[in-house]
Amino acid sequence: MEKDAVSQAIEHRLANFRNKTRVQAGSLITSVFGDAILPRGGRVWLGSLIRLLQPLELSERLVRTAVFRLVKDEWLEAQALGRRTDYMLTPSGRRRFEEAAKQIYAAEIPAWDRRWRLLMVVGAQEPRWREPLRRALFWQGFGETGSGCFVHPSADLGTAMDALASEGLQELLPKLLPLVAVSSQSMQSATDLDLVRNAWNLEELGASYAAFLDRYAPILEALLAVGASEVQEESAFLVRTLLIHDVRKLLLRDPQLPEGLLPPAWPGSKARQLCKEIYRRLLAASERHLDAHVRLSNGDPPRATAVLASRFESANLLEAALSLPRPPDLPADA
């Protein structure tokens, strides 16, 4: 395979993203904060964020609008320093991403304890709340069994309730009864399988995972054949960003069912492994790009912390990245 195969595979993914007619900038920025900014203190100058996303053809106006909306939705908060402003995850925003990070960067899927987590709507539910509640729980991986009952195999019910409050559904919380139900002894029980079929559309989720594999498999194939040293630092950061953004959207919908309750040859398992292998190979180059371009309002570069070492067991790669000479600091007015 030629040396430019990696560049071609990466550029194909970046071009497909740039050609999208509609980009959910707020969701992408949330992914950037969680993946790249949180390990550096969770704070960044807005001008620096705009520059990071410019190669993806997100305009300054689009980024500013999306950031202001994230502030309004209490994902981010602002702190002015003179004429400049830093943005950081709010405590609730940080908590939500740290919870998601347990799934995104896990080296292995935790074993199931054979307990179902239930959220049951007690009493009559106002029609205006049905769809917001269903949608909010859907994005936490809950399935709906009918009759106002939502189910998940491993969710932390306290965290789920906090997330609903963050989504503006505090009024509903007194009507939700969290329960834990012990499953039957057999992982393959008909009761459990029927519950899964009724609660989740695994065919649709599986198709989304298959599309993810088609999108990123050529990149890993090229990296394995040529090596990550051929990847430009900016390209490494951009693909790492899109990779985590795409897998985050999938895992938010994924109930993380145990293997015995999944269809044969479930593509979600391959997708998780693919993400891990690409991320580990791009980490060092992408971190050098962030060292060179991420700044706070005062011009200081926030340094990466050991948080990265635990992601996909990437300690050795992170150590290699941090041992390289640091780029010179940008002037404060850059």
pLDDT score at 251: 87
72-124 pLDDT, tens digit per residue, is 988 899 999 889 999 998 888 887 777 778 778 876 677 788 889 999 998 87
Quickly count: other Cβ atoms within 10 Å of residue 110's Cβ: 11
Report residue 234 as tokens. 């900016």
Which residue, among 68, 6, 18, has the nearest Cα to 236 in the 3D structure? 6
Percent of the chain with pLDDT over 70: 90
More confident residue, 294 or 20: 294
d(CA 20, CA 30): 19
Distance between CA atoms of 82 and 45, rounded to whole angstroms? 12
| 327: confidence class by pLDDT, cuts 50, 70, 90 | very low
> 121-125, 131-135, 277-281, 289-293: lowest mean pLDDT where?
121-125
- Residue 189 confidence (pLDDT): 62
Mean pLDDT of the chain: 85
Q: What is the mean pLDDT of residues 50-57?
A: 96
Q: What are the tens digits of pLDDT across the range 149-200? A: 999 998 889 888 988 887 788 888 898 999 998 876 555 566 888 888 889 9
Q: Residue 25 and residue 10: Cα distance in Å, rounded?
A: 20
Span of 20-34, 175-189, 244-258, 278-292 with lowest mean pLDDT? 175-189
Q: Structural domains in the chain?
A: 115-182 (3.30.70)
pLDDT of res. 74? 84
Q: How confident is the model at residue 246 (pLDDT cuts 50, 70, 90)?
A: very high
Give the end-to-end CA distance of the chain in Å, rounded to a whole number. Answer: 40
Task: Tell me: pLDDT of 273 over 60.
Answer: yes
Over residues 265-283, mean pLDDT:
92
The two three-digit tokens of residue 216, written as one number: 């990123």
Mean pLDDT, range 28-35, rounded to an integer = 94
274: CB partners within 8 A, 6+ apart: 212, 213, 216, 217, 220
* pTM of the shown model: 0.84
- DSSP H or E run through 119: strand 115-121
Residue 55 or residue 254, greater confidence: 55
Rg (CA), the chain: 21
CA distance 16 to 11: 8
The pLDDT score that the predictor gives to residue 186 is 55
Q: Which two tokens stand for residue 20?
A: 């999208």
Give 207-227 pLDDT, tens digit per residue: 999 999 999 999 999 999 887
CA dist., res. 45 & res. 91, Å (int): 18
